[in-house]
Structure 1
Amino acid sequence: MRKETENRRNGESGNRHRLIARHSLFAIGFLLLFGGCQQAQEPVLVGRPEGPYRLELALSPPQPHARQQTTFTYRLTETKTQRPVSDLQILHERAIHTFIVSQDFRSFAHTHHEDFFPLTPQDTAAAQFHFPYTFPQAGTYLIAGEFTHKDRSWVKQFTVNVEGSHTGPPGEVIADPIRTKTFGQYQVSLTTSPDPPVVGHDTELVLHLTRDGTPVSDLGLHLGTEVHMASWRLDGAHFGHQHTYTPAMARMMAMMSDHTSNPTHMAKMMVQLMRGPAQQAYWGPTLPVHHVFPAVGVYQLFFECAPGGKPLVLDFMVRVEDYSEGADTTVHSIVPPQAATEDTQ
């Protein structure tokens, strides 16, 4: 099911320190990051970076227009053989996860072929997947397609220029550090450990949700997990996609830190865990996610969860700092490894 949100810049009062990244600099960052991507829209776009897989994206019409439906069609092949990748692994109930964000981060969507059409044997054999999407406004969009094959997840990225009349001048991307916000009837706070996050080190991000002042206790599963997090740095670089940090994941991480298992084997185990039947570990009001931010900067985060079984999209920003000698990078997790060794499912 496709979800979109308008970024809310409302939060509770407090000290604000805002960094303004001008729209023109952001657009330049997009072009530098995705050099070779299309200014005049091409019939078939090729996902970047290059690698053992080639993900092509065809748009119909080739030049999308705001508020008019566009059909996305993926074709996934092996780069060397050009054969279709016909044995994709289904991760969190979908073959390819697609994340679409506008360059001002005011529009966000997470969508899939299976949200609109059954996945047929013919689709799988041809490694072709399609779905409709309507861009809400003109401008430049960043698209990330994520798939899993042979127990490893891959991300291919595209930029798409959407035509249409602008309702106003180009917007500014504002780095907003507010950690408590209101989304309809929900009040949501975000904490991180360590705070601030440190580049290259594990960070635990914890959401705390209340509904009309009462802690949420009826979170449901959404696409096989309690929460999905999509993240980009404000220049459009360093896309990331994470999920709930469960006791089972904490147990695996503890094994890795104790050097009791090969990291490659552990990565495969993590994929197998996410491919398995969905098991709910959290009903609220807190939701933990782990992520390693790869570079210094301000990141836009989108969280998708389902309180009361209804999809809800939350947006926050965090500033990631460089490591300095003596910095405390300890993660004070709400899911300690010793608790994770018990069977909590």
Structure 2
Amino acid sequence: MHTGLRITAFAAALAAAFGTAYGVGAGVDPIVANGAPAPHGGHGERDGASEEAPRPDEGGGHGGHQDTPAGGLQISEDGYTLDLATPRVTAGQRSELRFTVRDASGAAVTAYQREHDKELHLILASRDLVTYRHLHPTRAADGTWSTPVDLPAAGGYRVFADFTPAGKGAKNLTLGADLAASGRYEPARLPAPNSTARVDGYQVALAGSLRPGKASELKLTVSRDGEPVNDLQPYLGAYGHLVALRSGDLAYLHVHPNGEPCDGTTEPGPGISFTATAPSSGTYRLFLDFRHRGEVRTAAFTVRAGSVPGAAEPAPAGTPEHSGGHGH
């Protein structure tokens, strides 16, 4: 066994500064991390060659500049700040994650617009993109948000708060903050590119390409035991939710579903369509949350912006923890 490395918040920050890739992972609803995929728990692929993180000067696909803004890289934007009251937890132990969104005056924000049935969506991912969780914390009257978390491995994580403040003309924001999980740490490699993911007997196939600076369609098709799934259930107002994170700095992409349940044209499977624009060239992890037979599951993919998926073999079942925690 490898000698464990105890991570402190300071050590985690140093590692992130030197480009060390940690992991991304699981959540209270679905999660992705090392271990066999399970409903609301670890789904993923860990057997992959390590990926080199994209350099900041390699963004853009068009003359080397970044055409599309990336979210989650800033703790403050447009006068709003993510105040993370729990910057450190212990790996393998259940903890309460607490935070507040503050406005330009420093006051806690207590009014939000509801989007996809929630006032705020919280994404938690490890720096190595192996662990992923999509959580829905609870807001107290004073504006403090809280949610239970249980991170499977020590290392560096990124917390993303995706929300729209109440008020006319308010825009959607994604603010990010670093979180450290202390404990014995062993680095994980980014899973190899794949166009097929398997979780709990389901197979999800990815078609389409992620392009730098240009909108493109990504279509994910869900099947079970070789048969197409034609009765997906709505989850947070859609048949699927897709989050994309860039390897290296964990830039957060807003990925919008095309159509919604009961709009007269969108079918409940087997295909789920999204439109996405990559802010730069590089390697990304895609996390799809979908609901069937009452369970929310997460399928994860590694893709390179600008290349068409398909050459890679299906990801082995039981590696990264894609238990896309969907906390309520």
Instruction: Say which of 167, 190, 193 aligns to 1:173.
Output: 190
Alignment of 1:102-141 (within 5 A): 102-114=126-138, 123-124=140-141, 126-141=142-157
278-287 or 151-160: which moved more? 278-287
Instruction: Say which of 291, 294, 297 aligns to 2:276.
Output: 291
Aligned 8 A contact 1:10 1:182 in 2: no
Instruction: Say which of 302, 305, 308 aligns to 2:290.
Output: 305
Instruction: Say which of 166, 169, 172 aligns to 1:153.
Output: 172
Count of residues paired in the alignment: 252
In structure 2, C-alpha distance between the alignment counterparts of 1:163 and 1:65, rounded to whole Å:
5
Aligned 8 A contact 1:227 1:243 in 2: no
The one-letter code of the counterpart of 1:2 is D
Indicate how the Cα distance of structure 1 residues 105 and 184 shifts in structure 2: closer, same or farther if over 3 A, else same: same
- Counterpart in the other structure of 1:272: none
Larger CA Rg, structure 1 vs 2: 1
- Counterpart in the other structure of 1:246: 259
**With structure 1 as the length reference, what TM-score do the two structures score?**
0.66
RMSD: 2.9
Indicate how the Cα distance of structure 1 residues 242 and 198 shifts in structure 2: closer, same or farther if over 3 A, else same: closer
Aligned 8 A contact 1:225 1:280 in 2: no
Aligned 8 A contact 2:285 2:301 in 1: yes
Indicate how the Cα distance of structure 1 residues 153 and 279 shifts in structure 2: closer, same or farther if over 3 A, else same: farther
- Counterpart in the other structure of 2:123: 99
In structure 2, stretches of 5+ residues that fail to align are: 1-27, 34-42, 57-72, 308-328
- Counterpart in the other structure of 1:87: 111
**With structure 2 as the length reference, what TM-score do the two structures score?**
0.69
Aligned 8 A contact 1:228 1:244 in 2: yes
Instruction: Say which of 207, 215, 222 aligns to 2:228.
Output: 215
Secondary structure at the aligned position of 1:302 is classed as strand
- The structure showing larger relative contact order (alpha-carbon pairs under 8 Å, at least 6 residues apart) is 2
In structure 2, C-alpha distance between the alignment counterparts of 1:5 and 1:299, rounded to whole Å:
15
Instruction: Say which of 90, 93, 113 aligns to 1:68.
Output: 93
Once the two structures are TM-superposed, the CA of residue 212 in structure 1 deviates from its matched residue by 0.5
Identity %: 23
Higher helix fraction (1 or 2):
1
Indicate how the Cα distance of structure 1 residues 8 and 87 shifts in structure 2: closer, same or farther if over 3 A, else same: closer
Once the two structures are TM-superposed, the CA of residue 278 in structure 1 deviates from its matched residue by 9.4
The one-letter code of the counterpart of 2:205 is S
In structure 1, C-alpha distance between the alignment counterparts of 2:113 and 2:79, rounded to whole Å:
16
Secondary structure at the aligned position of 2:97 is classed as strand
Once the two structures are TM-superposed, the CA of residue 198 in structure 1 deviates from its matched residue by 2.2
| 1:231 is the counterpart of 2:244 | yes
